[in-house]
Amino acid sequence: MSVSASVIRDFLSAIHPYDTFATDELTQVAGCFRSLTIPKGEIIYQLGARLDGLYVIYDGQVQVEGPDGEIVSSLRAKNTFGERGLLREGYAVTSARALDDVTVLLLPAFDFQALMEGHPPFNLFFTRNRSSLPTPRQNTLANMRVEQLMASSPIGCSPEASVGEAARILRDHRISSLVVTEEGRLVGLLTLRDITNRVVAAGLGHDTRVADVMSPDPYTLPPTAIGSDVLHLMMERGIGHVPIANGDQVVGIVTQTNLTRVQAENSALLVRDIAQAQTIEQMAATTARIPQLLVHLVGAGNRHEVVTRLITDIADSTTRRLLAMAEEKLGPPPVPYLWLACGSQGRQEQAGVSDQDNCLMLDDAATEDDDAYFKALAEFVCDGLDACGYVYCPGDMMATNPKWRQTISVWRSYFKGWINTPDPMAQMLASVMFDLRPIGGDERLFDKVQAETLKFASRNSIFVAHMVSNSIKHAPPLGLLRGFATLRSGEHKNQIDLKHNGVVPVVDLGRVSALKGEITAVNTRARLVAAQAKGIISTSGGQDLIDAYDLIAETRLSHQARLIRSGKTPDNFMSPTVLSEFERSHLRDAFVVVRTMQSAAGGGRGLLG
């Protein structure tokens, strides 16, 4: 089927990034495309072939296949394919096959490159290498978006309500202002200062109407405003409350308290408050501020590895303070010990949802009688962590479990046994323990253990093969029809799990890469970068995987920050519908990269390719 240039133009106008072109530009771009009809079952291009250009599906369905013929994506009308190869020296990194009679629009490679160089929105859409982005600005009031500062869904009252009723609302909600609305429209603002100056000081009764003492038609700002707009308005007008409104519909409010809280919520201050805490209750009050810290860090544009590192630092400080408090209570330890974290804390990847995973390594001089001390120490620390929001590990992977509170000799035997007999349980335990990171105590106890274990494990081909197999069990949420495979039932129906189907597959690939290269880093991104430098992962494949991981991890953090801002508990389950078509397209591409790298790892070629 031949498609005319005018039809191509109209078709592209509804697809991003072509909708960013001016009308005359789009007409010119559409003229660069040519339509091709591909019969059912025919190969459009093979892995490693020189690409003719960028493909956009006009009609029909295309199946994208990995190196071993495995399905990595099934695409329909308006979907694009071939761009990854064009960005990687022009050679296909997957294969593409027509599932039925397909009409595609082909933008020649030369024209694709010209648009990449001459049209920034087009370049932004197809460029996934986020490492070249400028360093984020510091988290300051001046450059934060208003939506990161405001309290959402502000409490309000009617202008006909009495001042007494309004005062009770202020008291019950522990707030300093009320938005006054009539039929959903903002008509005024009532603050505690208004009640003090205009009611109490004026000798008016508590039955006075709010309409008579409120500030009518208050100054507002739109959600597109930034922190400096709020500061300037407050300074210029001498006010302490600024409603945020879309037209006359209030969506939030920014107060001086909000601004003060932003200044107070940085990781260094939280670490300081934890270090100075004298009770577990004081520590819990500090860690309760972590969700807002996450919101501010994400809102300021910090990269995901910065956000998770800063949040993990707080968990580390909390653990060390609890260890110090335990020693103050129990006395000095009978032998040297080392407290280690595994899981997300071990990898320095904690986000808005975290349980605790930890263990104790004891000097070989420890006796059975000494265990009473370390049992009490473990219970004190784990109970304290739970009180601070780091809930008990559902799998009992904690130092309170005697199995995970052992001497160095026993730990060596654990690792040796798991490596020599890599059954499913051994693989799971090894996966957890390869993420160990010292937190408090004598770190010398771990140095040789880690190096010896990595060396021993990397030389056992059967164990490595089992770990590779284990690393591809978590599949990215790619569906054959709509781009994403969402959960089919339960509380999170029609959502995707950004942890187990998003970041975990990359975490597993990073762990296997570290194992093969005897890399001591435990942070996933650091592992991938080191593996790429050592040739464990190819340059192009490694960069693709790092870019994909960056996008998935940042999508997860943005999702959690969005929940926190709306007053909800952060989780890892996101509906794809909250994303724009632009965001969905890139997230789908990231999942395709992960699946392709999993296929490479599981296909006997390792991660090279």
Summarize pLDDT for 337-368 with one digit per residue, the tens: 999 999 999 999 999 878 999 999 999 999 99
Q: Which residues of 366-403 are buried (b: 16+ CB within 10 A; e: fewer)?
A: beeebbebbeebbebbbebbbebbbeebeeebbbbbee
Band (128; pLDDT cuts 50, 70, 90)? low
| 183 and 164 share one domain | yes
Q: Residue 120's domain is classified under what CATH number?
A: 2.60.120.10
Same domain (yes/no): 275, 240: no
Clarify whether residues 280 and 417 are in a common domain: yes
Domain final residue, candidates 255, 286, 310: 255
Which residues make beta-bridge pairs with 188? Answer: 180, 216
Q: Tell me, yes or no, whether 97 and 153 share the same domain.
A: no
Residue 226 lies in a domain: yes
Burial 32-55 (b: 16+ CB within 10 A, else e): bbbbbbbeeeeebbebeeebbbbb
Q: Dig out the tokens for 9 from the structure.
A: 């133009």
Which pLDDT value is given to residue 608? 47
Identify the domain boundary among 255, 289, 308: 255
Domain boundary among 224, 255, 286: 255
Lowest mean pLDDT among 188-192, 248-252, 408-412: 248-252
Which residue would you say has higher pLDDT here, 235 or 158? 158
Work out the average pLDDT over 443-467.
89
Percent share of the chain, pLDDT over 90 = 53
Residues 279 and 327 in one domain: yes
Residue 135 maps to a domain: no
Kindly state whether residues 220 and 357 are assigned to the same domain: no
Rounded Cα distance, 455 and 473, in Å: 25
What is the reported pLDDT for 129?
43
Q: Return the pLDDT at 121.
A: 81
**Chain segment 261-296, per-residue pLDDT in tens:** 666 557 777 888 898 899 999 999 999 999 988 988
In this structure, what are the phi and psi dihedrals at residue 329, rounded to the nearest 5 degrees?
-80, -40
pLDDT of residue 202: 92
pLDDT band at 169 (very low <50, low <70, confident <90, very high): very high
- Rounded to whole angstroms, what are the CA distances from 193 to 209, 214, 215, 301, 502? 16, 10, 11, 36, 49
What's the number of CA atoms in the CB half-sphere (13 Å) around residue 319? 29
Lowest mean pLDDT among 123-127, 516-520, 589-593: 123-127
Number of domains within the chain: 4
Q: Which residues contact 48 (CB under 8 A, 6 or more apart)?
A: 91, 92
Between residues 124 and 194, the one the model is more confident about = 194
Q: What one-character-per-residue DSSP string does 421-474 give?
A: S--HHHHHHHHHHTT-EEEEE-THHHHHHHHHHHHHHHT-HHHHHHHHHHHTSS
Same domain, yes or no, for 49 and 175?
A: no
Tokens of 372: 């009473």
Residue 31 covered by a domain: yes
> Is 104 part of any domain?
yes
Q: Which two tokens stand for residue 576?
A: 């794809």
Res 141: pLDDT: 62
pLDDT bracket for residue 425 (50, 70, 90): confident
- Residues 423 and 389 placed together within one structural domain of the fold: yes
The token duo for 136 is: 């984020």
The answer as to whether 122 is a domain residue is: yes
Angle between the 304-330 and 290-299 helix axes, to the nearest 10 degrees?
A: 160
pLDDT value of position 65: 83
pLDDT the model gives residue 84? 83
For 22, list phi and psi in degrees, rounded to 5. Answer: -65, 160
Q: Are residues 116 and 126 in contact, defined by beta-carbon separation less than 8 angstroms?
A: yes
pLDDT reading at 60 higher than 80: yes
pLDDT band, residue 208 (cuts 50/70/90) = very high
- Let me know if residue 465 belongs to a domain: no
Contact between 586 and 551 (Cβ < 8 Å): yes
Token pair of 374, please? 């370390």
Domain-embedded: residue 340: yes
DSSP conformational letter for 106: E
Are residue 480 and residue 449 in the same domain, yes or no? no
Contact 167, 195 (CB under 8 A): yes
Asked whether the predicted pLDDT for residue 170 surpasses 70, the reply is: yes
Give the residue numbers spanning the domain of 514: 470-605
Pairing of strands 156-157, 405-407: unpaired
Q: What's the whole-number mean pLDDT along residues 118-123?
A: 82
The confidence score (pLDDT) of residue 177 equals 93
Residue 127's CB is within 10 A of a number of other CB atoms, namely: 16
**Antiparallel, parallel or unpaired: β 34-38 and 43-45:** unpaired
Q: Over the stretch 489-545, which tens digit does the pLDDT of each residue have?
A: 999 999 999 999 999 999 999 999 999 989 888 999 999 999 988 888 888 888 899
The answer to whether residues 404 and 511 belong to one domain is no
Please compute the mean of the pLDDT values over residues 203-208 and round it to a whole number: 94
How far CA 513 is from CA of 476, 536, 608, in Å, comes to 19, 6, 10
| 156 in the same domain as 122 | no
* Locus of tokens 């003229």: 31
The alpha-carbon radius of gyration of the chain (Å, integer) is: 29
Q: For position 306, what pLDDT does the model report?
A: 84
| Structure confidence at residue 253 as a pLDDT band (50, 70, 90) | very high
Give the pLDDT confidence score for residue 264 in this predicted structure. 55
Q: Is residue 137 part of a domain?
A: no
The residue assigned the tokens 């392709």 is 596
DSSP H helices, 238-362, are: 256-264, 267-276, 280-287, 290-299, 304-330, 343-346
Q: What's 198's domain CATH number?
A: 3.10.580.10
Q: How many CA atoms lie within 13 A of 143 on its CB side?
A: 11
Q: 410-422, pLDDT tens digit by residue? A: 999 999 999 998 8
- Rounded to two decimals, the pTM is 0.68
Residue positions counted in the chain: 609
State the CATH number of the domain containing residue 286: 3.30.460.10
In three-state form (DSSP H/G/I as H, E/B as E, the rest C), the secondary structure along 373-395 is HHHHHHHHHHHHHHHCCCECCCC
Give the percent of the chain with pLDDT over 70. 94
Instruction: Name the band, by pLDDT with cuts 50, 70 and 90, for residue 87.
Output: confident
Residues 118 and 170 in one domain: no
**What's the pLDDT score for residue 472?**
86
Average pLDDT over residues 382-401: 95
- pLDDT at residue 602 above 80? no
